[in-house]
Amino acid sequence: MNKLAINTVGDELEASAEFCREQGIGLEVDDFAFPVNLDGDMTAGIMRHAVATAGISPLSSHGPFLDLIATSPDPAIVEVCRKRHRAALYAAREIGATLYVAHTNFNPLIRNGDYVRNFTKRMLDFWLPLADEAAASRIVICFENLWETGPELQAELISAAGHPNLKASFDNGHALVFSTRPAKYWFETLGRNLVHCHLHDNSGEFDEHNPVAEGKENWPELLDAAEKFSPEAIFVVESDYLEKNKLSLQSLRNLSSR
């Protein structure tokens, strides 16, 4: 099975990190996705994370996403996005993360030809300079699906960028809610450009972040496709609480042993 990790946010950082050491798995930190941790002096927050996560691998960091539209035609909005991501990438570098997760924030409800045509260009105008900066710190930026109906946008972005530090992340829970494509199709399409996954479950109606196998996902099919098409992708179970993440890990291990 693919390498395993869990996510953590807030007060569970230290307990989650200790669990990861015991299990020999990776960790994803979510604190630097939120504005409260990006404003002002970040030294204490970075130090706390660096100490807690020391020696854990793979280590990833989730980038900010709330209201951030990097493809906006308004340069003032784009500058806010750049400020937030630069701060979060700085934190990722300082704690030793090697993967940085960034939502595309593509909105399929905007049925405007100019929006769709310009999306890839504006994304690359924004992200290519940051990818160069990330490369200097050996960080790979992973574009995560959110509202996309399929993986074609991520595939197009990565192909057009042609940058070794811009890859894809697949969030199966988002796909369950917003896409009619099964998980296996995302792995088939993105292949080895898919280097990171968020795995959780839901009813298909809301992004509930339930533990693995407590929803409608076809887990045997997902795991088979991941092994076949994206064997190097990191599996981050993303149920938001340590106890729920433990349940997800056990379910994944049980499924993979069948």
Can you spell out the DSSP letters for 179-204? -SS-HHHHHHHHGGGEEEEEE-B--S
94, containing H or E segment: helix 75-95
pLDDT tens per residue across span 174-223: 999 999 999 999 999 999 999 999 999 999 999 999 999 999 999 999 99
142, containing H or E segment: strand 140-144
Tokens in use for 192? Answer: 């080895």
CA angle 220, 221, 224 (to 5 degrees): 85
Q: Which CATH architecture has domain 4-256?
A: Alpha-Beta Barrel (3.20)
Task: Compute the distance between CA of residue 11 and CA of residue 20 in angstroms, rounded to an integer.
Answer: 15
Q: Mean pLDDT, to the nearest integer, of 84-88?
A: 98
Give how far Cα 90 sits from Cα of 128, 164, 222, Å.
Answer: 16, 19, 33
CB atoms < 10 A from the CB of 51, how many?
Answer: 12
Is the pTM higher than 0.95?
Answer: yes
Residue 240 scores a pLDDT above 90: no
Tokens in use for 237? Answer: 């179970």
